[in-house]
Structure 1
Amino acid sequence: MLIYKILRSGEWTALKRDGETAGAPIDEADGYVHFSTLEQVRETAAKHFAGEEGLYLLALEADELGEALKWEPSRGGALFPHLYGPLRLSDVRWSRPLQMGLGGHVFPDDMT
């Protein structure tokens, strides 16, 4: 199962340069890297990145992250994937720019 992370341009550049990251400032503050499922990622973008440009959508395979990935309740009690460890570039299956459209962010048609 793929899970998704939205990064700002500078965060994505740093991950590519350094090979790993503790995540965005909110991730560092919370002590884990926040991810979303396919069903959750659009709401995550709307809630936390409304109107922001220069974003990147990353996809990672949940099963490959091992025991560091925990499923914990968050928005509305839904289980969200949280990574208790660094986000590694080597774990990223693909990345794509997340463009802005008239109604918000435009997600790729094929996110698998």
Structure 2
Amino acid sequence: MIFHIAEVSDWQAAQVSGDYRVSTRGRSLADEGFIHAARRGQVLGVAQAFYADAGPLLLLSIDPDRLSSPVRDDEVAPGIVFPHIYGPINLDAVVAAAPLRREADGRFILPS
């Protein structure tokens, strides 16, 4: 399983369009050339670094075997590897879309 942090409005738009094309906050698949994803242990760090001041968020759980677009692990810094999806996310590859909630102090909590 790989994961993607999505703004609720972007996920709702994908339900209408038929696929998901947001790479990361404020950047599209067309802008970046891929969609950022993460392993479970990387999600909270990404959330804190890039979404601390964002509105309502969802954590999309994506089954890579169901994706119609290729996934590749890319080294983003020495020894740091993240999965990237090189094309749109077909909606049936998303097996869950759960709220990414915060503690009162602002720290994110992974959905169970």
TM-score when normalising by structure 2: 0.84
> Which residue of 40, 55, 58 maps to 2:57?
55
SS of 1:4 mapped into structure 2: strand
CA gap 1:18/1:106 in 2 versus in 1, 3 angstroms: same
Contact 1:23 1:33 in 2 (8 A): yes
Gaps of 5+ in 2: none
Contact 2:66 2:92 in 1 (8 A): no
Runs in 1 of length 4+ with deviation above 4 angstroms? none
How far apart, CA to CA, are the structure 2 residues paired with 1:15 and 1:51? Answer: 22
What is the aligned residue count? Answer: 108
Contact 2:68 2:90 in 1 (8 A): no
The within-5 A match list for 1:1-112 is 2-24=1-23, 25-28=26-29, 29-65=31-67, 68-101=70-103, 102-108=105-111, 110=112
Which residue identity lines up with residue 15 of structure 2 in the other structure? K
CA gap 1:103/1:76 in 2 versus in 1, 3 angstroms: farther
TM-score when normalising by structure 1: 0.84
Structure 1 residue 27: deviation in Å? 4.1
Which residue identity lines up with residue 5 of structure 1 in the other structure? H
How far apart, CA to CA, are the structure 2 residues paired with 1:60 and 1:21? Answer: 12
Contact 2:2 2:64 in 1 (8 A): yes
Contact 1:15 1:88 in 2 (8 A): no
State percent identity of aligned pairs.
27
Gaps of 5+ in 1: none
